[in-house]
Amino acid sequence: MKSGSESVDFKAHGFPERYDCFMALLDVPSAADFHQKEVLVAGGAGFLGSWLSETLLAHGSSVTCIDNLATGREANISHLRTHKNFRFEKIDISDGIMDRHFDMIFHFASRASPEEYQQHPVETMLANSIGTRNILELAAKYNSRVIYASSSEVYGHPDVVPTPESYWGHVNPIGPRSCYDEGKRFGEALCMAYLRAYNLDVRIVRIFNTYGPRIRGDGAYARAASRFINQALRSEPLTVYGDGSQTRSFCFVTDTINAILRVATSDAARAEVFNIGNPREITILTLAQLVEQLAGGSHGVKYGPLPEDDPPRRCPDISKARSILGWEPRVGLEEGLSQTMRWFRENELPRSNT
């Protein structure tokens, strides 16, 4: 167990006796980099934000978590609420932000599920534009380091797969996904503008599909992996869109967090952008079959229409993260899906039955 982790009330976590095994997968490069640091996590009650918040707390940071709870859930951070170095404020970063010094700011506040962000296109664009501006202004005032959560969506429908950071993207600027794609592209451009204008320390992570405990599997919030797991555990057919031949690459959450924390601390990551994802590319139909197999029973596949502008292929080239950060994913898809399935079984299914 890493230093400082005993001060976090992990026993109160959703998966108590399994928690150590998740913490063991976290591999923070230098815990000293986070010790006694004032850190702001915007979107801290979300899937990735809550993992970040607790990992930072466990390594000695004082964490201020802000979230408008549009997608994030209080349940994700309830086990942190009593910690003396944790505070939560319900804030929408598009409306404004506190005026206080932070050493580091993680901007992870945005809807990320295609079905959800397409229902809230304006809010999604504002979180990544006005919201990002509010974060960057605060950072410029107090000389904070900013880590901006961008997305593989900036590549749109890439002609180059696996896609390196040097690829500029192939995006429909007026399509149904553009609120997110262009929101993230604008957010990246604004980070670089603050770097050039004010010499601000910014770092950008382009996060590819990530899954793991606390990812939402309900309604429009669900992503392919979490929806399939939910459906399989409820003995329902899995809803595959199109013929399922489109591809994605799935990274387990602890691998993603490890990479983000390396980006946050590595001197060589300043002013850089990194693809963070697992380079194993699989079809969505293969993912569905794998989930069925791990769940131990098949209830069939229900095919539905392919959503407009759904990217046909997505896979990261992670050479840059490998060479500069010394990072690569360690958790295989079968292992990660099993862990996630166990978490859904123990946490989400009981919750929805009450």
* DSSP character string of 257-326: HHHHHHHHH-GGGTT-EEEES---EEEHHHHHHHHHHHHT----EEEEPPPTT--S---B--HHIIIII-
Closer to ligand UDP at the Cβ: 78 or 239? Answer: 239
Closer to ligand UDP at the Cβ: 84 or 300? Answer: 300
- One character per residue 40-79, x = contact with ligand UDP (rule: CB under 6 A): ----------------------------------------
Indicate which single residue of 78, 129, 172, 239 sits in contact with ligand UDP (rule: CB under 6 A): 239
- How far apart CA 90 and CA 55 sit, in angstroms, is 20
Residue 241 within binding range of ligand UDP, rule CB under 6 A: yes
Kindly give the pairing relationship between strand 281-283 and strand 247-249. antiparallel
Count residues near ligand UDP (CB under 6 A).
14
Least distance (Å) from ligand UDP to the CB of residue 236?
A: 11
Given the residues 180, 194, 211, 221, select the one marked as catalytic.
Answer: 180
Closer to ligand UDP at the Cβ: 238 or 269? Answer: 238
Tokens of 65: 């978590």
Q: Which amino acid would we find at residue 353?
A: N
180 labelled catalytic: yes
- How far apart CA 128 and CA 148 sit, in angstroms, is 10
- How far apart CA 336 and CA 344 sit, in angstroms, is 12
Closer to ligand UDP at the Cβ: 132 or 210? Answer: 210
Residue 246 within binding range of ligand UDP, rule CB under 6 A: yes
Indicate which single residue of 77, 135, 224, 321 sits in contact with ligand UDP (rule: CB under 6 A): 224
Residue 114 within binding range of ligand UDP, rule CB under 6 A: yes
Indicate which single residue of 53, 209, 254, 289 sits in contact with ligand UDP (rule: CB under 6 A): 209
What are the C-alpha distances in Å from 156 to residues 182, 185, 208, 336? Answer: 10, 10, 12, 26
Closer to ligand UDP at the Cβ: 307 or 326? Answer: 307
Q: Which of 70, 86, 186, 61 is nearest to 136 (CA)?
A: 186
| CA dihedral for 18, 20, 23, 25, sign (positive or negative) | negative
Residue 313 within binding range of ligand UDP, rule CB under 6 A: no
Least distance (Å) from ligand UDP to the CB of residue 337?
A: 13
- How far apart CA 36 and CA 5 sit, in angstroms, is 14
Catalytic (active-site) positions: 180
Q: Which residues bind ligand UDP (CB under 6 A)?
A: 113-114, 209, 223-224, 227, 239-241, 246, 248, 284, 307, 310
